[in-house]
Amino acid sequence: MIEGISIHHILTVTTIMFFIGAYGFLTRKNLITMLMSIELVLNAVNINFVAFNKYLYPENMQGHFFSMFIIGIAAAEAAVAIAIIINIYRNIHSIDVEDIEQMKY
C-alpha cells in the first residue's frame, strides 16, 4: 500500500504499457523492436501481479512469485529469440519480419 497512489493509478499505467507493447508488436517491422515490445507487455503484466498482490492480498506472496517467475522465463525467452533472429539474419541477411515468409501457402 503506497500512500497517495491508488491501485487505479497503477492499473492505468500498466494498461497503457500493455497496449504500447501490443501496438509495437503489430506495427514494428524490425524483429528486435518487436522483441522489445513483447518485453513491455510482459513487464506490464509483472507490475499488475505485484500491484494486485500488494493492494488486495498483502498477507500472501503468490503475486511476487509469479513476477519472479515471469522475469526468469522472459530472460530465457529473449535469449532463444535473439538466437533465432541471428540465425535468420545469417540465412536471409535481413531481420525485417515481412521478409520471413517461407511458411506461407
Partner 1 sequence: MEFSYTIYIALIPFAVFVINGLFGSKIKESFTGYLGVAGMVVATYLSYFTAYHYFFKVGKAVDGAYQKVIGFNMEWLRFTESLHIDIGVLLDPISVMMLVVITTISLMVHIYSLGYMKGDKGYSRFFAFLSLFTFSMLGLVVATNIFQMYMFWELVGLSSYLLIAHYYQKPSAVAASKKAFIVTRFADLGFLIGILILSYLTGTFDFNILCNPEGPAFMQSSSAVFLGLSTMGWALILIFMGGAGKSAMFPFHIWLPDAMEGPTPVSALIHAATMVVAGVFLIARLFPIFAIVAPNALEVVAVIGGFSSIFAAVIACTQTDIKRILAFSTMSQIGYMMLALGVSGYGAEAGLGFMASMFHLFTHAMFKALLFLGAGAIIHAIHTNNLSEMGNLRKYMPIPHITFLIACLAISGIPPFAGFFSKDEILVAAYNHNQIYFWVEWIVAGLTAFYMFRLYFGIFWGKEKKYDHTPHDAPFSMTFPLIFLAIASAIVGFIPFSNFVTSDGLPFDIQMHWEIALPSIGIAIFGIIVAFVFYKKESDLPNRAVASFGSFYKYALNKFYFDELYLFVARKVIFKRFSSPIAWFDRHIIDATMDGVATITNYIALKIKGLQSGQLQQYASVFVSGVLLLIVIFIYLISV
Q: Which residues bind partner 1 (CB under 8 A)?
A: 22, 25-27, 97-98, 100-105
Question: Please, where are the H alpha helices in 28-60?
Answer: 31-56
Q: How far apart are CA 37 and CA 25, in angstroms?
A: 6
In angstroms, give the least distance from the CB of 88 to partner 1. Answer: 12
In angstroms, give the least distance from the CB of 15 to partner 1. Answer: 13
Q: Which is nearer to partner 1, 59 or 98 (CB)?
A: 98
In angstroms, give the least distance from the CB of 68 to partner 1. Answer: 26
Q: How far apart are CA 98 and CA 39, in angstroms?
A: 21
Q: What are the DSSP calls for 61-98, one per residue?
A: -HHHHHHHHHHHHHHHHHHHHHHHHHHHHHHHS--BGG
Q: Which is nearer to partner 1, 27 or 60 (CB)?
A: 27
Q: Which is nearer to partner 1, 36 or 50 (CB)?
A: 36
